[in-house]
Amino acid sequence: MTTTDSPATTHDDAPGFLPELAERLPLIRDLGPMQFDHPAMRAWDAPHGDPETWDLQIPDRELPGPHGPVPVRIYAPSDEARDGAADDPRAGAVSDPGAPRPCLVWLHGGAFIGGDLDMPEAHEVARGIAGRAGAVVVSVFYRLCDVPADMGGAPATTNPRGKTGVHAPIPLDDAHAAFTWVREHAADLGIDPSRIAVGGASAGGALAASLSQRLADEGAPARRALLMYPVVHAVFPEPTPEEAAALAVTPGVLRFHTETTVAMNENYLGGPVETATPYEFAALADEDALRALPATYIEVDEFDDLRRSGRAYAEQLRDAGVDVTFEIRRGVPHGHLNRVGLSTAAQSLDRMAALLGE
């Protein structure tokens, strides 16, 4: 296993956090779990700068799926942008003009109950990777689970398509249908069918990891998996002393405490965590199954309960002989790809684009 560590310049008042985050921490220091609607969170989540600009074609469409249409947004560099991308210093992994492009099927996060194609973790990530890598990125709006009363529903709200009772395996089925469609239509999309990767963040990272396992089990693995702060355990492993120390200084509203995580995962499963399989939480796969996985990149955030899930999964992959790279993104809490204009988000996009271009 290759392990790398991104450095972080810190702030004296909040050791370890990036300065641009440390200066905002007093806004949310006293907030507890699930207080996401507190006015202070809007200031905490405010952009740090302008969104990146890229010359892309970005059509929306619906793909066929076993549970109904699956909305996707397809990001592809225009021909002019691709021809000139080599002159863009941000585009370090651009594929050769005229050659079939690499592709990433991308899955946003949102605790299996939220998120959409417009959130930064979907739209800005897809734009940034497509532009940097000269690649096609297909961002998938998989079906979302209902929001139960103990997670903020009143008493429960339904997902955006008005369906009730959405649980596993429906979101993964949507992701699998999108990946299969992309592979079958690679020529139409200008994609190299042997260079289609799967990736996702947070809950989307869970889906991406399980999709990678499902494709490998079917004998048709993805080119690689890009897993950003994924949740791949139904019940988190114990933190290391270093991980516990980082969590001790993380505000409660940014934490994924055990009861919250179990509620989230059981809501996704539609049953107790004991019913989970590798097609919901990929760390449950045995070593024989793991051996079939493609090269996998796992990136975790320093101040994040999910860090231990990604770290433990990387260790499992290493022990199974999988080509795995594990990186800790220093100075940030969970979900840094949602932070528009944050330098570390751009660094993560650089990393993913470079891997996609290999």
SS (HEC) of 134-172: CCEEEEECCCCCCECHHHCCCCCECCCCCCCCCCCCHHH
Number of Cβ within a 10 Å radius of residue 181: 19
Distances (CA, A) of 353 to 134, 153, 197, 345: 9, 37, 11, 12
In one-letter notation, the amino acid at residue 349 is: L
Structure pTM? 0.92
Distance spanning both ends of the chain, measured CA to CA: 18
The catalytic residue positions are 202, 304, 334
The DSSP bridge pattern shows strands 136-140 and 60-63 to be unpaired
Tell me which of 3.40.50.1860, 3.40.1550.10, 1.10.10.1150, 3.40.50.1820 is the CATH number of domain 2-356: 3.40.50.1820
What does R_g of the chain's alpha carbons equal in angstroms? 19
What is the b/e burial string over 210-247, where b = at least 16 CB atoms within 10 angstroms of the residue's CB?
Answer: bbbbbbbeeeebbbbbbbbbbbbbbebeebeeebeebb
Number of H helices and number of E strands within the chain? 12, 10
Q: Decide: helix, strand or coil at residue 41.
A: helix
How far, in Å, CA of 6 to CA of 299, rounded? 10
Tokens describing residue 288:
């024989």
Q: Quote the pLDDT of residue 36.
A: 82
Per-residue pLDDT tens listing for the chain (358 residues): 777 665 554 444 567 999 999 999 999 999 988 788 899 999 999 999 999 999 999 999 999 999 999 999 999 998 755 554 555 655 654 556 678 999 999 999 999 999 999 999 999 999 999 999 999 999 999 999 988 766 665 444 444 444 468 999 999 999 999 999 999 999 999 999 999 999 999 999 999 999 999 999 999 999 999 999 999 999 999 999 999 999 999 999 999 999 889 999 999 999 999 999 999 999 999 999 999 999 999 999 999 999 999 999 999 999 999 999 999 999 999 999 999 999 999 999 999 999 999 9
In one-letter notation, the amino acid at residue 41 is: M
Tokens describing residue 242:
């270093």
In one-letter notation, the amino acid at residue 180 is: T
All structural domains of the chain with their residue ranges: 2-356
Q: Which residues contact 184 (CB under 8 A, 6 or more apart)?
A: none
Is-cis flag, bond preceding 160, omega within 30?
no
DSSP characters over 226-293: EEES----SSPPPPPHHHHHHHHTS-GGG---HHHHHHHHHHHHTS-GGG--TTTSGGGS-HHHHTT-
CB of 66 closer than 8 Å to CB of 177:
yes
Q: Quote the pLDDT of residue 20.
A: 95
